[in-house]
């Protein structure tokens, strides 16, 4: 990146933050993420995209979001869910089954190989899934496009769906209750971490990022930049050792903007042109997948005391980052949502090789008719 690129990205981020602040005042859900996705996609489609942000920036954003998510994993609040957690986890497993079923139908109708369709539609863990695509005999480009189209569609629709499913009682969740031990909601908007001593809080957050990434890589976590800091921070939060290190206010909004840019800029003109024939089918499949998950959440809400909007966000087939942005702006049950999303991601990545091996029988090569010479490349 040159100086012009730095200025351009800074100006884009500031512009999105300013517009999002206006939309925030009128109750628009998760405006930081949504505006950044739209702006990033528009720049990519028109060929006006500046040089991409360095890989280290994306790693740092993922790590800081991991710290933010870990700060909400308060054991006392999570255990208050009680036995309701068991059916929630059962529905979480069901979302993976629904993802695979939709992928199999999509593979047959769109004539896409089963490994690619399955990895492209698998709910959660887009970065980890894309990185594993080649190793699992899938087309990495198609998997990446399908995953980020899924994330974009869910990120753009989840705020409206969750708001529609919300009720008056669900508004009882408040920032002072969720994460109150790590964030002071009365701080000015320009502060970047959740306590008055910004240097100490930010230093703690950076240390958690560095240690978390190192631990995540050492133990082989999928997406270690996100999950490593989240697990380390979650343990620290549960133990009550420290507080005030979670990104907040302006810094947190900036993280959501950068994640939105990272998703939106994937939709370049060349990629969209190459995958154009798949877009209608993929979009329809994502809508069906989201609808199936919403139906599961509705069924679960009838047998538990949890709010329907919280259950939808906990099980929705979107990226953890997009869900977190929506849940944070809605003052939703963040311990439930982040825990369930993370558990699904970890279980899915552990079972992914076995799942792909089982699904390959649906994609057996067709016999070549007699007299037909196979094409060579």
Average pLDDT over residues 1-10: 86
| 334 or 288, greater pLDDT | 288
CA dist 287 → 267, 273, 337 (Å): 19, 21, 21
Q: Residue 251 above 60 pLDDT?
A: yes
What is the structure's pLDDT at 177? 36
Tell me, what's the pLDDT at 200?
82
pLDDT at 207 exceeding the cut of 80: yes
Asked if residue 55 is part of any domain, the answer here is: no
User: What end-to-end distance do the CA atoms of the chain give, in Å?
Assistant: 38
**Average pLDDT value for residue range 210-230:** 85
Q: What is the pLDDT of residue 14?
A: 93
- Compute CA distances 93 → 106, 183, 201, 267, whole Å: 20, 32, 37, 30
Note the pLDDT of residue 243. 67
Cα(252)–Cα(67) distance, integer angstroms: 11
The closest alpha carbon to 179, from 304, 82, 78, 251, belongs to: 78
Residue 372 placed within a domain: no
pLDDT of residue 214: 94
CA angle (105, 108, 114) in 5-degree steps: 85
The total number of structural domains that make up the chain: 1
Mean pLDDT of the chain: 76
Confidence bin at 132 (pLDDT 50/70/90): low
Mean pLDDT across the stretch 256-281?
Answer: 82
CA neighbor of 33 nearest in space, from 163, 159, 205, 191: 159
Among the residue ranges 172-176, 327-331, 351-355, the one predicted with the least confidence is 172-176
Residue 367, in any domain of the structure: no
Helix axes 320-329, 249-264, angle to 10 degrees: 140
Q: Is residue 138 part of a domain?
A: yes
- Which of 179, 156, 187 shows the shortest CA–CA distance to 326? 156
3-state SS string over the chain?
A: CCHHHHHHHHHHHHHHHHHHHHHHHCCCCCHHHHHHHHHHHHHHHHCCCCCCCCHHHHHHHHHHHHHHHHHCCCHHHHHCCHHHHHHHHHHHHHHHHHHHHHHHHHHHHHCCCHHHHHHHHCCCCHHHHHHCCHHHCCCHHHHHHHHHHHHHHHHHHHHHHHHHHCCHHHHHCCCCCCCCCCCCCCCCCCCCECCCCHHHHHHHHHHHHHHHHHHHHHCCCCCHHHHHHHHHHHHHHHHCCCCCCCECHHHHHHHHHHHHHHHHCCCCHHHHHHCHHHHHHHHHHHHHHHHHHHHHHHHHHCCCCCCHHHHHHHHCCCCHHHHHHHHHHCCCCHHHHHHHHHHHHHHHHHHHHHHHHHHHHHHCCCCCCCCCCCCCC
Is 369 a member of any domain?
no
Give me the pLDDT at residue 377, please: 33
Average pLDDT over residues 171-175: 39
Quickly state the pLDDT bin for 130 (edges 50, 70, 90): low
Q: Is 250 part of a structural domain of the chain?
A: yes
Region 86-114: what's the mean pLDDT?
83
- Maximum mean pLDDT: which of 55-59, 195-199, 297-301, 372-376: 55-59
* Tokens describing residue 5: 């690129």
pTM: 0.68
Q: In the chain, pLDDT over 70 holds for what percent of residues?
A: 73
Determine the pLDDT at residue 274.
76
Please say if the pLDDT value at position 213 is more than 90: yes
Closest to 344 (Cα-Cα) out of 94, 68, 18: 94
Mean predicted confidence (pLDDT) in 162-181: 49
Flag whether pLDDT at 94 surpasses 60: yes
Confidence band for 366, pLDDT divided at 50, 70 and 90: very low
Question: Model confidence over 221-246: pLDDT tens digits?
Answer: 767 888 788 888 878 877 777 667 88
Answer yes or no: is pLDDT of 157 > 80: no
Domain boundaries, position 243? 3-50+63-361
Q: What confidence tens digit (pLDDT) does each residue in 36-88 have?
A: 888 988 888 888 888 888 888 888 988 898 888 777 666 665 566 666 667 87
Asked if residue 377 belongs to a domain, the reply is no
The arithmetic mean of pLDDT across residues 307-331, rounded, is: 74
Residue 178: its pLDDT value, please?
Answer: 37
- The pLDDT, as a whole number, for residue 173 is 40
Confidence of residue 11 (pLDDT cuts 50, 70, 90): very high
pLDDT at 376 over 50: no
* Residue 48: how many other CB atoms lie within 10 Å: 9
Residue 175 lies in a domain: yes
3-state helix/strand/coil string of 74-121? CHHHHHCCHHHHHHHHHHHHHHHHHHHHHHHHHHHHHCCCHHHHHHHH
Give the model's confidence band at 335: pLDDT under 50 very low, under 70 low, under 90 confident, else very high: confident
pLDDT at residue 208 in the model: 92
């Amino acid at each position: 990146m040159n100086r012009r690129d730095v200025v351009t990205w800074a100006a884009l981020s500031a512009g999105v933050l300013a517009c999002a602040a206006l939309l925030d005042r009128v109750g628009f859900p998760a405006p930081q993420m949504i505006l950044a996705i739209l702006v990033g996609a528009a720049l990519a489609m028109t060929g006006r995209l500046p040089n991409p942000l360095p890989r280290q920036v994306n790693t740092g954003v993922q790590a800081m979001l991991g710290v933010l998510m870990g700060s909400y994993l308060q054991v006392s609040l999570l255990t208050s869910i009680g036995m309701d957690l068991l059916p929630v986890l059962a529905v979480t497993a069901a979302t993976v089954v629904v993802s695979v079923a939709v992928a199999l139908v999509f593979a047959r109708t769109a004539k896409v190989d089963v490994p690619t369709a399955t990895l492209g539609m698998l709910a959660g863990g887009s970065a980890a899934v894309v990185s594993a695509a080649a190793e699992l005999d899938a087309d990495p480009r198609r998997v990446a496009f399908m995953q980020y189209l899924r994330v974009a569609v869910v990120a753009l629709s989840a705020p409206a769906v969750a708001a529609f499913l919300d009720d008056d009682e669900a508004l009882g969740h408040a920032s002072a209750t969720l994460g109150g031990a790590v964030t002071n909601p009365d701080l000015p908007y320009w502060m970047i971490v959740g306590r008055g001593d910004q240097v100490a809080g930010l230093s703690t957050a950076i240390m958690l990022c560095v240690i978390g990434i190192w631990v995540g890589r050492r133990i082989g976590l999928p997406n270690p930049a996100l999950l490593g800091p989240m697990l380390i921070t979650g343990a620290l939060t549960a133990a009550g050792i420290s507080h005030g290190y979670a990104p907040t206010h302006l810094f947190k909004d900036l993280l959501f903007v950068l994640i939105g840019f990272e998703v939106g800029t994937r939709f370049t003109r060349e990629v969209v042109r190459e995958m154009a024939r798949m877009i209608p089918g993929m979009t329809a499949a994502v809508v069906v997948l989201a609808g199936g998950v919403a139906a599961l959440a509705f069924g679960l809400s009838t047998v538990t005391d949890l709010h329907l909007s919280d259950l939808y966000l906990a099980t929705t087939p979107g990226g953890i980052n997009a869900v977190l942005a929506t849940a944070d702006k809605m003052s939703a049950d963040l311990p439930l949502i982040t825990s369930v999303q993370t558990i699904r991601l970890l279980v899915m990545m552990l079972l992914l090789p076995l799942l792909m091996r089982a699904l390959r029988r649906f994609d057996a090569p067709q016999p070549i008719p007699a007299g037909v010479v196979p094409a060579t490349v």
